[in-house]
């Protein structure tokens, strides 16, 4: 029998759309929080994408439909705020202020309310569009991605939105733990720059600009994708113990220290590429796993989900990837996504 979730009793309001904000609050709902999604008259735009898309970001929530541009909508908002622990807003700064969704605007109704504003450039950063790929381009992510000498690239998923959602959930919980109400400001820009940690530190402290290495790691060698006789293999060899085990299995000599491998990157990569061509990616994975060498064959998402069926859950008729948090004694129920205005319609 599953016990209550670690966030049971926590009441969170969400005024968000599409991905970053809804992802943040869904993670909290998975952990037992009661999340009420405050939607405009037409609903969250993600409802128009597809039912599966909406479900992947909004399972287990309640839905209240409010027109925040009206006095009636504002009155109902204030009623909800009185009983809430936190409000997470994922809109541009001018809209956050215009709809009265800041701590300063709401503390009269609940001075212990935690208000999280999740925006593109920060509450003082203006209303310039800040969609995921725009932020990746603006913060250096795209410039780091791709083959040397080739065009910049983007990953095939919404890394900025998802990362910012995780950060917003963490910021919300941190302020709740403090026992005080207040405003928390999280931006996609700040989150992505934070994730460029060691690249940024190298530039700021040593003047070393990041290099596009085709996905290879800037410090560890070999740590990248390699072609094999069939498919590609990811290697991530850091310390010398890994290298010795891999080199012995692959029949490679020399380059025994981390510093030597970094200093002779091209030579090491060439030797590894030649060795890996002798077998398939799946066979290399099977050979290296017993040696505890960090390696994996490149799989498609369908292959990955098939390989790890325990990550897939059912929520209201939708098969989705479950919560990344495994808490002892607690098993999320994964409720269905709500119908628009199902738990209140104040429009």
pLDDT in tens, 151-199: 999 999 999 999 999 999 999 999 999 999 999 999 999 999 999 999 9
Largest CA-CA distance found in the chain, in angstroms, rounded: 75
Q: What percent of the chain has pLDDT over 90?
A: 98
CA distances for 230 relative to 195, 215, 279, 282, 304, angstroms: 33, 20, 7, 8, 17
- pLDDT score, position 225: 98
Indicate the DSSP class of residue 254.
-
**In a 10 Å sphere around its CB, with 0-12 CB exposed, 13-18 middle and 19+ buried, how is residue 331 labelled?**
middle
Q: Residue 182 — φ and ψ, nearest 5°?
A: 155, 180
Domain ranges of the chain: 11-195+312-321, 223-227+232-297
- pLDDT score, position 234: 98
Q: Give per-residue pLDDT as tens, 20-71.
A: 999 999 999 999 999 999 999 999 999 999 999 999 999 999 999 999 999 9
Cα end-to-end span (Å), the chain: 40
Q: Residue 24 — φ and ψ, nearest 5°?
A: -60, -50
Tokens 């605007």 -> residue: 105
**In a 10 Å sphere around its CB, with 0-12 CB exposed, 13-18 middle and 19+ buried, how is residue 266 labelled?**
exposed
Contacts of 173 (CB under 8 A, 6+ apart): 28
- pLDDT score, position 1: 52
Among residues 136, 132, 133, 154, the alpha carbon closest in space to that of 145 is found at: 154
- pLDDT score, position 214: 95
For domain 11-195+312-321, say whether CATH 3.20.20.70 is its number: no
Q: Give per-residue pLDDT as tens, 263-317.
A: 999 999 999 999 999 999 999 999 999 999 999 999 999 999 999 999 999 999 9
Question: Is 279 designated active site?
Answer: no
pLDDT score of 217 more than 60: yes
> Encoding tokens for residue 201?
């530190």
Per-residue buried b or exposed e for 86-124, using 16+ beta carbons within 10 Å of the residue's own CB: bbbbbbbbeebeebebbbebbbeebeebbbbbbbbbbbe
> Encoding tokens for residue 275?
């060795």
Interstrand relation of 223-227 and 182-187 (parallel, antiparallel or unpaired): unpaired
Q: What is the mean pLDDT of the chain?
A: 97
Confidence label for 2 from pLDDT (cuts 50, 70 and 90): confident
Mean pLDDT over residues 13-22, rounded? 96
Indicate the DSSP class of residue 98.
H
Catalytic residue among 161, 185, 266, 308: 161
> Encoding tokens for residue 200?
């940024």
- pLDDT score, position 346: 81
């Amino acid at each position: 029998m599953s016990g209550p979730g670690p966030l049971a009793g926590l009441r969170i309001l969400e005024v968000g759309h599409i991905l970053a904000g809804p992802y943040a609050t869904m993670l909290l709902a998975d952990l037992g929080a009661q999340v009420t999604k405050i939607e405009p008259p037409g609903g969250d735009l993600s409802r128009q994408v597809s039912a599966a898309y909406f479900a992947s970001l909004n399972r287990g929530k309640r839905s209240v439909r409010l027109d925040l541009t009206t006095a009636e909508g504002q009155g109902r908002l204030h009623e909800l705020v009185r009983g809430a622990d936190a409000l997470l807003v994922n809109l541009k700064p001018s809209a956050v202020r215009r709809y009265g969704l800041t701590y300063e605007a709401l503390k009269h109704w609940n001075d212990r309310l935690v208000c999280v504003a999740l925006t593109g450039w920060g509450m003082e950063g203006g209303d310039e569009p800040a969609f995921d790929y725009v932020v990746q381009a603006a913060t250096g992510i795209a410039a780091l991605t791709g083959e040397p000498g080739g065009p910049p690239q983007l990953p095939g998923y919404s890394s900025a939105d998802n990362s910012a959602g995780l950060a917003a959930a963490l910021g919300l919980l941190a302020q709740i733990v403090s026992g005080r109400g207040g405003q928390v400001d999280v931006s996609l820009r700040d989150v992505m720059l934070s994730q460029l940690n060691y690249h940024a530190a190298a530039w700021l402290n040593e003047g070393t600009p990041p290099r596009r290495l085709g996905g290879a790691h800037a410090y560890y060698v070999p740590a990248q994708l390699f072609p094999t006789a069939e498919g590609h293999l990811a290697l991530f060899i850091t310390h010398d113990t890994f290298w010795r085990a891999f080199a012995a299995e692959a029949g490679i000599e020399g380059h025994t220290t981390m510093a030597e491998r970094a200093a002779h990157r091209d030579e090491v990569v060439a030797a590894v590429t030649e060795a890996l061509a002798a077998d398939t990616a799946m066979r290399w994975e099977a050979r290296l796993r017993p040696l505890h060498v960090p390696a994996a064959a490149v799989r498609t998402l369908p292959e990955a989900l098939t390989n790890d069926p325990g990550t897939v859950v059912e929520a209201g008729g939708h098969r989705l990837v479950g919560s990344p948090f495994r808490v002892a004694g607690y098993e999320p129920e994964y409720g269905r996504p709500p119908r628009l205005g199902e738990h209140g319609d104040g429009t």
